[in-house]
Each structure stands twice: as structure tokens, then as C-alpha cells.
Chains A and B, each alone.
Chain A
Amino acid sequence: EAQVTQNPRYLITVTGKKLTVTCSQNMNHEYMSWYRQDPGLGLRQIYYSMNVEVTDKGDVPEGYKVSRKEKRNFPLILESPSPNQTSLYFCASSLSGHNEQFFGPGTRLTVL
């Protein structure tokens, strides 16, 4: 089944403890992105990638890192999480900029 998977789906952590949210797609898509969704603010893009080793900042990149060493994986790294990073995170992929984006199921992160 063609899909975007994220792990973990739910995570509660404490301020300053480094964490990684994994994202993987099995559709051989070139493009991948990370978004966060917050009430009243909607979905905002954190980082995006157009190919392996090519990443760029989205609207709200502060406090996040990404890497794209393989086409199928695009992990989101929070080196020192803070409570304002409590949010619902989505990973997405698409074949190209012309094509629709497929979203993962989301990761709900709580930073205490």
C-alpha cells in the first residue's frame, strides 16, 4: 500500500531532551515536507526537500533540523525541544511540484 508513515504517533517529552520523529514514504517520491498544525494558526511548513541532500527552510524552521540522506526518509529532529513546540506534526511527500501531496497520519508531540 502506498503510504507515508510517521513514528512515533504520540510523544510526551521534557524540555531539552533531544528527539527525532521519523518519516518514510514508499512511493519513490522526490519531494518531502514537514508541517506543524496549531489551533488558530493552521498548518505551517517547517522544512521541505526536493531531493536527496537538498533541503530548504519553510515558514517556521527555528528549533528544528532535518536531513535527507535517502529518498524515502525525511526525519525531523528537535535538538532541544521547548514547550512552544508542542503541536501536531505532519510529514508529506509528492512525486514532484506538479503533483498532489500525500500526508502521513500525524505525530502529536507534547513538550513539558
Chain B
Amino acid sequence: KQEVTQIPAALSVPEGENLVLNCSFTDSAIYNLQWFRQDPGKGLTSLLLIQSSQREQTSGRLNASLDKSSGRSTLYIAASQPGDSATYLCALDQTGANNLFFGTGTRLTVIP
């Protein structure tokens, strides 16, 4: 069974820093990988989706990479802002049926 791990569980950084969030998984046979953010008391917002055949995706200050052979994905956030404070979750789809396996998330706090 796929296991998805996100370390650290929590991270605090000063505003303006570049930072990297990590996601590791045990089974490299994946269909795609998605990064989400979740604000307290709210639903999830999709940030980036990387297909199995891709190595990375970029959106604004966010860049996500995928290395299936090592079972890792990273989410890079450039020039962090207080508004980036949220919990970040990675999720893997192994079948293309949206049957997602989620990590437990990294809670990010950006200090003004």
C-alpha cells in the first residue's frame, strides 16, 4: 500500500525566505502527484499537478518537482509571504481514477 510522508510537520520562516517542502512516497508507480494548500477551517485548493511523465510544474512563485525513481517530490516557494501561511499537502494518484493517497501535510507559518 502506498505511504506518503511529509517532513517536517511544521515549519516557521521569516517573510522573504525561499523554502522547500518535501513529500516522499513508497511506491513509484504513480499516475500523477498533486500539491494542495489548506487554510484553517477551509477546503483544499489545488496548487500544482504533475503528471507521471513530467519532471516539474511552475505557477507563479511555486515550483513543484517529481522524481519517481527516488520516490520524492518537492514544492519550492520563492520569496515567501505571510499569505502563504497554510498547511501544504501532497497527494498521489496511482490509477488515474482520482483515487488519491495524501500525506499528513506540512504546516507553514511565514512570520512578517
A98–B53 Cα distance when bound, in Å, is 12
Whether A44 contacts B102 by the Cβ 8 Å rule is yes
A96–B50 Cα distance when bound, in Å, is 14
Could you give, for residues 33-76 of chain B, a 1 whenever the CB lies within 8 Å of some chain A CB and a 0 otherwise? Answer: 01010000111111001010000000000000000000000000
A35–B91 Cα distance when bound, in Å, is 12
Binding-face segment, B11-19, B21-29, B78-86, B93-101: B93-101
Could you give, for residues 71-112 of chain A, a 1 whenever the CB lies within 8 Å of some chain B CB and a 0 otherwise? Answer: 000000000000000000010101001111111111000000
How many chain A residues have a CB neighbour from B under 8 Å? 28
Whether A97 contacts B34 by the Cβ 8 Å rule is no
Whether B42 contacts A106 by the Cβ 8 Å rule is yes
Taking CB atoms, residues of chain A closer than 8 Å to B91 are 43
Report the nearest B residue to A59, measured CB to CB. Answer: B101
Main secondary structure of the interface of A (DSSP, over half): strand
Taking CB atoms, residues of chain A closer than 8 Å to B49 are 99-100
Binding site for B on A (CB under 8 A): 4, 31, 33, 35, 40-45, 48, 50, 56, 58-59, 90, 92, 94, 97-106
- Identify 18 residue pairs between A and B in the complex whose beta-carbon atoms are under 8 Å apart, listed by A's number: A33-B100, A35-B100, A42-B89, A43-B89, A43-B100, A48-B97, A48-B98, A56-B97, A97-B93, A100-B34, A100-B46, A101-B46, A102-B46, A103-B45, A104-B43, A106-B41, A106-B42, A106-B43
Binding site for A on B (CB under 8 A): 31-32, 34, 36, 41-46, 49, 51, 89, 91, 93, 95-105
- Given pairs A98-B96, A106-B43, 10 additional interface contacts (CB within 8 A): A35-B102, A43-B100, A45-B100, A45-B101, A50-B98, A97-B95, A97-B98, A100-B46, A103-B46, A105-B42
